[in-house]
């Protein structure tokens, strides 16, 4: 990195509707006795007086332009900034005193020329009253291990050289709560030199409108998913804190003092569920085992052993060209082949068949709804689904209304199952109907039912023999609805259209870096991998289902708002549900 001594600082502040706190932030920059060369404030369209406030400060450059979230605003700022040192402070935070920048620059100018300088900080409430000291990792030489257990770096108390951004790259714009945490991990992996200073640099404000504090459940989920991606597992310390939050609603990180769980048993049960949900799949278990002698992984392995959840999945991987294996049932899933214990599979199929027969006997309506996840769902009156038998699939759990109304949840694509495994494992409410061969990444459970599912290009009228998933999970869902005896199947959210790269073919793996416009939620596949679709092949499967239904005096109707699927008769959702409870 550069050894330049006359270093300059650029400050970047993303801001949105923070007029109550923005002056504190801007004042704390303006009063620095080592003045920054610029303070870039990005505001995508505040409806309060934030923009007017920013314009009153001579040192501020207001960039009133749209963005897709905080991370993009910071990336814009880091890219535009001219300073040697980059500072990122949110509009509800502020620096501790007027000499922070001077002390930071002095540390950057020492002989070891660090890449990142970070210090201490405190948490305050909306009245700027002290809450507690921020927990900070003081051993910068152990950050790779320490980051597994907790963030330990306060973002407004952290300063980086411009070269760090140029080397490590942009902040991950698919993240909303943990983008800074993930960036520090990437920096450590890139051998960036961190230096800790025993010096208070910043005050971070926690209030009900604060994104991390106000949406802590979503924040925990994102952090755990990010850690799974970065480290190959989720450390037990994070999962313990998450369990406390899920059981009692408090946050041991943000509201530290006085949080003594009264219901230890309930927290322990939830903790075990989380450990299994995040670390229970074949690949994660194997990864933890391979690193069991290393810090972090070792302690988590001990916790899994203590709670008796270290037993392996009911399968193991085998070479792609191996046809059979004694005592096992072999099946190829995506790029890998698996051998599943035959006795385990038989036991699961018996359980599932018993469940299906019970549901057939208890069915109280002849109508069910299959939900596709197209963008038209945003124009669909989902309140009409209340009291209906609803089948959802894939990442439909992003919509809480769908979860509340669903009777059944399905997934058949291995990429969706692998990447969403923790969410699926923790999903409660709908019964999960899954191909047995996804058990390498999806856990068993009282509400989980594995069945035979081979992707033949044919419609099986006997769900106890097969439910084909060929080309789309919707074909699988049509099998499920038929097998359960529904006479009318109503489709919603079947837009039947995908925006994909030119020249791509079905099954090709796409890494979605931008917002996902093919589904009802822009985050649906953002930051994830998915397989290209072919609506022509999908429609061929739908036609097989249509013929099977009609030959048995049943029907499939399309109640999607708009879309391009014209194979089935169209009705409004309200009309299609007439006569249904």
Q: What is the pLDDT of residues 316-371, one digit of tens each?
A: 999 999 999 999 999 999 999 999 999 999 999 999 999 999 999 999 999 999 99
Residues 260, 398: one domain?
A: no
Residues 354, 453: one domain?
A: yes
Does 259 score more than 70 pLDDT?
Answer: no
Confidence of residue 476 (pLDDT cuts 50, 70, 90): very high
State residue 527's pLDDT score.
87
State residue 262's pLDDT score.
62
Q: List the domain range (segments joined by +) for residue 481.
A: 337-497+505-578
CATH number at residue 134: 3.90.550.10
Residues 407, 345: one domain?
A: yes
Relative to beta strand 328-333, strand 336-341 is antiparallel
Closest of 512, 497, 489, 521 to residue 397, by C-alpha? 521
Residues 290, 365: one domain?
A: no
State residue 66's pLDDT score.
84
State residue 578's pLDDT score.
87
Please work out, in degrees rounded to the nearest 5, the angle formed at the alpha carbon of residue 314 by the alpha carbons of 310 and 315. Answer: 110
Q: Average pLDDT, stretch 385-392? A: 98
Residues 265, 390: one domain?
A: no
Rounded to a whole number of angstroms, the distance between the first and last alpha carbons of the chain is 68
State residue 263's pLDDT score.
79
Does a structural domain hold residue 331?
no
Q: What is the pLDDT of residues 50-91, one digit of tens each?
A: 999 999 999 999 999 888 889 999 999 999 999 999 999 999
Q: What is the pLDDT of residues 262-277, one digit of tens each?
A: 678 999 999 999 999 9
State residue 383's pLDDT score.
97
Residues 287, 389: one domain?
A: no
Does 197 score more than 60 pLDDT?
Answer: yes
Q: Average pLDDT, stretch 465-476? A: 97
State residue 378's pLDDT score.
97
Rounded Cα distance between 553 and 318, Å, is 44
Last residue of a domain, one of 258, 291, 307: 307
Please work out, in degrees rounded to the nearest 5, the angle formed at the alpha carbon of residue 394 by the alpha carbons of 391 and 396. Answer: 70
Q: Among 4-13, 245-254, 436-445, 508-517, which stretch is predicted with the lowest mean pLDDT?
A: 245-254
Does a structural domain hold residue 220?
no
Please work out, in degrees rounded to the nearest 5, the angle formed at the alpha carbon of residue 150 by the alpha carbons of 15 and 67. Answer: 20
Number of domains in the chain: 3
Q: What is the pLDDT of residues 97-149, one digit of tens each?
A: 999 999 999 999 999 999 999 999 999 998 889 999 999 999 999 999 999 99
Residues 292, 350: one domain?
A: no
Residues 425, 284: one domain?
A: no
Does 554 score more than 70 pLDDT?
Answer: yes
State residue 498's pLDDT score.
94
Residues 297, 414: one domain?
A: no
- What is the share, in percent, of the chain residues with pLDDT greater than 70? 95
For the chain, what is the mean pLDDT? 94
Does a structural domain hold residue 3?
no
Confidence of residue 208 (pLDDT cuts 50, 70, 90): low
Does a structural domain hold residue 360?
yes
Does a structural domain hold residue 216?
no
Does 289 score more than 60 pLDDT?
Answer: yes
In order, the DSSP letters of 539-580 are HHHHHHHHHHHHHTT-EEEE--SS-S--SSEE--HHHHTTT-
Residues 269, 375: one domain?
A: no
Residues 373, 485: one domain?
A: yes
CATH number at residue 533: 3.90.1480
State residue 209's pLDDT score.
63
Residues 127, 237: one domain?
A: no
Sequence-ordered alpha helix ranges (H) in 321-440? 342-362, 400-405, 414-419, 421-426
Task: Name the packing angle between helices 70-80 and 179-189 (round to 10°).
Answer: 50
Last residue of a domain, one of 285, 307, 329: 307
């Amino acid at each position: 990195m550069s050894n330049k001594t006359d270093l300059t600082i650029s400050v970047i502040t993303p801001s949105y509707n923070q007029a109550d706190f923005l002056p504190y932030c801007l004042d704390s920059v303006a009063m620095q006795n080592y003045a920054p060369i610029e303070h870039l404030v990005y505001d995508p369209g505040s409806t309060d007086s934030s923009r007017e406030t920013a314009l009153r400060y001579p040192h501020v450059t207001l960039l009133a332009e749209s963005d897709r979230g905080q991370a993009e605003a910071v990336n814009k700022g880091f890219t535009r900034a001219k300073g040697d040192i980059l500072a990122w402070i949110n509009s509800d935070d502020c620096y501790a005193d007027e000499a922070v920048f001077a002390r930071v620059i002095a540390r950057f100018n020492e002989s070891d020329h660090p890449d990142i300088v970070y210090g201490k900080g405190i948490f305050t409430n909306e009245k700027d009253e002290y809450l507690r000291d921020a927990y900070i990792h003081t051993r910068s030489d152990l950050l790779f291990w320490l980051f597994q257990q907790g963030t330990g770096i306060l973002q407004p108390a952290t300063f980086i050289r411009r070269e760090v951004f140029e080397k490590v790259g942009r902040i991950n714009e698919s993240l909303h709560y943990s983008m800074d945490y993930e960036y520090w991990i990437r920096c450590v992996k890139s051998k960036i030199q961190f230096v800790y200073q025993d010096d208070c640099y910043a005050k971070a404000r926690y209030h009900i409108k604060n994104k991390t504090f106000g949406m802590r459940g979503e924040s925990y989920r994102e952090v755990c998913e990010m850690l799974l991606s970065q480290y190959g597992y989720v450390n037990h310390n994070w999962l313990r804190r998450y369990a406390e939050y899920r059981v009692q609603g408090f946050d041991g990180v943000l509201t530290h003092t006085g949080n003594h769980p009264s219901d230890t048993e309930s927290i322990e049960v939830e903790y075990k569920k989380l450990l299994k949900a995040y670390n229970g799949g074949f690949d994660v278990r194997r990864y933890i085992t391979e690193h069991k002698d290393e810090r972090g992984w070792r302690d988590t392995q001990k916790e899994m052993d203590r709670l008796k959840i270290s037993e392996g999945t009911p399968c193991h991987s085998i070479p792609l060209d191996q046809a059979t294996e004694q005592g096992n049932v072999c099946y190829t899933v995506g790029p890998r082949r698996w051998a599943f214990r035959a006795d385990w599979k038989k036991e699961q199929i018996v359980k599932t068949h018993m469940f299906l027969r019970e549901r057939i006997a208890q069915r109280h309506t002849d109508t069910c709804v299959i939900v596709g996840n197209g963008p038209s769902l945003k124009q669909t009156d989902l309140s009409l689904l209340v009291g209906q038998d609803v089948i959802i699939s894939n990442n439909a759990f992003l919509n809480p209304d769908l979860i509340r109304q669903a009777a059944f949840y399905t997934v058949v694509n291995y990429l969706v199952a692998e990447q969403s495994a923790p969410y699926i494992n923790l999903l409660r409410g709908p019964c999960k109907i899954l191909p047995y061969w996804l058990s390498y990444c999806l856990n068993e459970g009282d509400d989980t039912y594995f069945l035979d599912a081979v992707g033949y290009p044919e419609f099986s009228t006997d769900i106890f023999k097969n439910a084909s998933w060929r080309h789309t999970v919707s074909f699988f869902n049509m099998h499920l609805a038929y097998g359960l005896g529904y006479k009318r199947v109503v489709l919603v959210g079947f837009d039947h259209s995908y925006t994909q790269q030119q020249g791509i073919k079905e099954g090709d793996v796409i890494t979605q870096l931008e917002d996902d416009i093919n589904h009802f939620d822009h985050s649906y596949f953002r930051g994830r991998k998915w397989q290209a679709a072919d609506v022509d092949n999908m429609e061929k499967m739908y036609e097989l289902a249509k013929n099977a239904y009609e030959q048995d005096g049943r029907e499939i109707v399309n109640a999607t708002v708009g879309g391009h699927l014209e194979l089935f008769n169209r009705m409004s959702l309200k009309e299609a549900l007439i006569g249904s409870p």
